Amino acid sequence: MKIAVIPGDGIGPDIIKQAYKVLNRVSEVFGMEFTFEEMLMGGRAIDEIGVPLPEETLKVCLESDAVLLGAVGGEKWDTLPGHLRPEAGLLGIRKGLGVFANLRPAILFPQLKSASTLKEEVLGDGLDIMVVRELTGGIYFGQRGRSEGSGGQEAWDTEVYSVPEIERVTRTAFEIARKRKGRLTSIDKANILESSRLWRETVVRVAEEYPDIELNHMYVDNAAMQLVRNPRQFDVIVTTNMFGDILSDEASMLTGSLGMLPSASLGEGSLGLYEPVHGSAPDIAGQDKANPIATIMSVAMMLRYSFDREDAALAVERAVEKALDKGYRTGDIMQPGMKLVGTEEMGDRIAAEIAAG
C-alpha cells in the first residue's frame, strides 16, 4: 500500500514522524506492507517551488492509495495573495483528489473529561460526535472578487451548491449514521439562504432512501448553541463547507484540545486524505511539544476507510486509550498528577501499545 506523505509546515514534520512509528508498528503486528513517498505542499512548497501545490505532488497523491498530511500554513506566508497562500494548497488538493466528504469525529476520551470546557454533568458519559462536512463546494469555492462601489472598495463571495453535490455528501452521512446510533442532524440556514433551502429539500429527499435513520434539521446558529448546551443530543451532523468548518472546530474544543482530533476526507473511491484538525503551530515547531494524537488517530481512520482494516484501526485507537490510561499527557492536555511527555515519547508510548486482538 502506497501512502503519499505531506509533512507540511510548522509542527507537521514533528507529528508525521510519530505517524511513521505507528504505521511501522502496525506493519509488524498485522503484516501490512506500506511504502511512503514524501511530497511538498503549503509554505514549504512556496519557498522551494513558488506554488502552494506543485503539480508533481498532486500527481503522486493520485497514484497513491492514501494521502497523509501534517499541517500547512503560518504567519510567514500570511501577506501573500490568496491564491499563493499555503491554504490554497489545501483547497487545491481536496479538489484535485475529488474528496467531497470531510469526516471530523469529536470524541471525548473518559480520561480527559476534566480537560473539557464543559461541566461534567453536561458531558455525562462522554461525547462521540461525527461531523460530516461538504468539502469541495459552497462559499469557499464560489466566485469571489472586489469592485469599487459608492462607498469605496467592496468584496463579495458566492455560496453555490448543486443537487448532486448535496446528494453525495448526504448519502455519505446517512451511511455513517447507519453504522452508529442511527441519528442524523442536517444543519443549514434555510430560513434565510436560498442555497440552504435547496440543501434541506435535497436532504429530505435522500432521507427517503434511509427510513431506518432518524433525521432532524437545525439552523446553524441554534446548532452552535446546542453544541455547548446539550452536545449529547448529536450523533452524526451533515452540513455545508463553511458551517462544517466552524462547527467542527467548536465541537473539537468540547473534547479538551484540538490536538486530539483527526479527520478523513473521502470521495467516491478508497483514496482518502487524512490530516489532524489542528493547524501548523509554528511557535512550538521542533520543540517536542506538539500533541501527535490527532495525527495518530487520522492514521486509524486511514486504516479503516482506505485500507478496510477495522482490526488495525481499532488497535491504534485502543493504543491511544492505553497510553492515556497510564497517565501520559502532552502539554495541551496535561492534568494534575499525570506524566508530562513530549511529542516523541507520546509517539513511542502509543506505538508500543499496538497489539492484535
pLDDT digits (tens, 9 = 90+) for 265-301: 999 888 999 999 889 999 999 999 999 999 999 999 9
pLDDT digits over 87-100, tens only? 899 989 998 999 99
Provide the CATH number for the domain around residue 277: 3.40.718.10
189, 210, 305, 328: the catalytic one is: 189
Do 237 and 311 have their domain in common?
no
- Mean per-residue pLDDT of the chain: 94
Query: How far apart (Å, rounded) are the C-alpha atoms in residues 142 and 195?
Result: 12
Confidence of residue 82 (pLDDT cuts 50, 70, 90): confident
Q: Total domain count for the chain?
A: 2
Domain boundary among 225, 253, 281: 253
The model's pTM is: 0.89
pLDDT digits over 119-167, tens only? 777 777 778 899 999 999 999 989 999 999 888 999 999 999 999 999 9
Do 82 and 174 have their domain in common?
no
Q: Domain for residue 182, yes or no?
A: yes
Confidence of residue 341 (pLDDT cuts 50, 70, 90): very high
- Which residue shows C-alpha cell 494521502? 67
47, 221, 308, 325: the catalytic one is: 221
Do 60 and 104 have their domain in common?
yes
Do 111 and 27 have their domain in common?
yes
Q: Domain for residue 350, yes or no?
A: yes
Q: Domain for residue 131, yes or no?
A: no
65, 128, 249, 288: the catalytic one is: 249
Query: How far apart (Å, rounded) are the C-alpha atoms in residues 289 and 33?
Result: 30
9, 14, 113, 140: the catalytic one is: 140
Those residues with Cβ within 8 angstroms of residue 172's Cβ, 6 or more apart along the chain or in another chain: 101, 132, 238, 266
Active site residue 128: no
Active site residue 189: yes
Backbone angles phi, psi at 271, to 5 degrees: -65, 125
Q: Which DSSP helix (H) or strand (E) runs through 332?
A: none
Provide the CATH number for the domain around residue 171: 3.40.50.2300
Whole-number percent of the chain with pLDDT over 90:
80
Active site residue 188: no
Domain span including residue 348: 1-115+260-357
- From residue 60, alpha-carbon distances to 97, 101, 294 in Å are 11, 21, 24
The reported pLDDT for the residue numbered 120 is: 74
Domain boundary among 220, 253, 286: 253
Mean pLDDT of 31-47: 97
Do 203 and 238 have their domain in common?
yes
Do 213 and 240 have their domain in common?
yes
Do 247 and 276 have their domain in common?
no
Query: How far apart (Å, rounded) are the C-alpha atoms in residues 27 and 278?
Result: 27
Active site residue 221: yes
Mean pLDDT of 14-32: 98
The reported pLDDT for the residue numbered 254 is: 83
The reported pLDDT for the residue numbered 63 is: 97
Strand order across the beta sheet in which 236-239 lies: 35-38, 2-8, 66-71, 272-276, 262-266, 101-107, 128-134, 236-239, 183-188, 214-219
Active site residue 14: no
Domain boundary among 238, 253, 268: 253
21, 245, 305, 332: the catalytic one is: 245
